[in-house]
Structure 1
Amino acid sequence: MSKQNYNLLLADDDEDDCAFFKEALDELLLPVSLVTVNDGVQLMDFLAHNATNNLPDILFLDLNMPRKSGHECLNEIRAKEELKDLPVIIFSTSLDNEIVDLMYKRGATYYIRKPAEFSKLKKVIENALTTASENNFKQPVREDFILQP
């Protein structure tokens, strides 16, 4: 990773998943800071408030959240001029091919299935940050869209 420090945003309603994500980042000793929001409404409010000068470098987006789903948030993000280039990595328990294809078509940068094991979570987060950085935070070809631990 070439940048000094990455500002990450995690949108996930599961408190345990948020805690594991933060713990994995802490153990990886990566140069990152993490902000979490717990639903889609909070996410869109956060992005609107920070759109002019303080957007995160990468958004990790859960699909199944209350009040506004990750699907709805991704659509809104890609529709707004000031947010359309924000790298969005889908971070979901589902790995349904139709959903993966839909997220690809809607412009998500990468797709990660949440691993059950902590060691795999650390690996997939590190892989996501390294791969996204090496690819200049652009969407890859469909075959490389799903990141594995």
Structure 2
Amino acid sequence: MLVEDDPGDAGLVRAAFASSRFVCRIDHISDGVEAMKRLRALALEGTHVLPDLILLDLNMPKKSGHEVLVEMKADAALKDLPVVVLTTSDAERDVAAAYHSGASGFVTKPVDVDALFEAIQGILEYWFGVMRLPVNRP
């Protein structure tokens, strides 16, 4: 799941996913309120439909990425989902707050398109090539 309010950034992330060796379905949500609604609805449908990974922007309308992260980690059905913050911020306070709130990773979006593609490829390689995710979630 990609939670990103900027359509240009979302398009670049989608293109980076499409060029990877992994076959991924991307559910793009453009604000934090809708992200929480969608995640809670998916949790009610059953754990097998929850996303394997969430890429979360911090600066969004209606509900910030920080707020989404705190809500997710407080929800028993969502707390174990891996969340990588993918944001333009490189402020230490944002990095620290994200990890304190339960983020699995923090990546500052590179301005350069090629560097952004490399960053996304690195995220995908780590989460789907190196890490092992549970098949059956609790």
Structures share a fold, TM > 0.5?
A: yes
Residue 107 (structure 1) aligns with: 102
Work out the percentage of aligned pairs sharing the same amino acid. Answer: 35
- Number of paired residues? 129
Return the structure number with greater strand share: 1
Structure 2: any 5+ residue segments left out of the alignment? 134-138
RMSD of the alignment, in Å?
1.3
The two structures have a TM-score, normalised by structure 1, of 0.82
Please point out which of 90, 93, 111 is paired with 1:98.
93
Of residues 56-65 and 118-127 in structure 1, the stretch that sits farther from structure 2 once superposed is 118-127
Unpaired runs of at least 5, structure 1: 1-8, 138-149
Q: In the alignment, is residue 37 of structure 1 matched against residue 29 of structure 2?
A: yes
Instruction: Please give the alpha-carbon distance, in whole angstroms, between the structure 1 residues aligned to 2:114 and 2:19.
Output: 10
Match of residue 61, structure 1, among 41, 56, 61: 56
1:29 is displaced (CA, Å) by 4.0
Task: Write the letter of the residue equivalent to 2:63.
Answer: K
Q: Could you tell me which amino acid in structure 1 is paired with residue 7 of structure 2?
A: E
Pick the structure with more helix per residue: 2
Q: Which amino acid aligns with 1:92?
A: T
Q: CA deviation at 1:28?
A: 2.3
Listed as ranges, the matches of 1:116-127 within 5 Å are 116-127=111-122
Q: Is the 8 A contact 1:10 1:35 kept in 2?
A: yes
- Contact 1:10-1:61 within 8 A present in 2 as well: yes
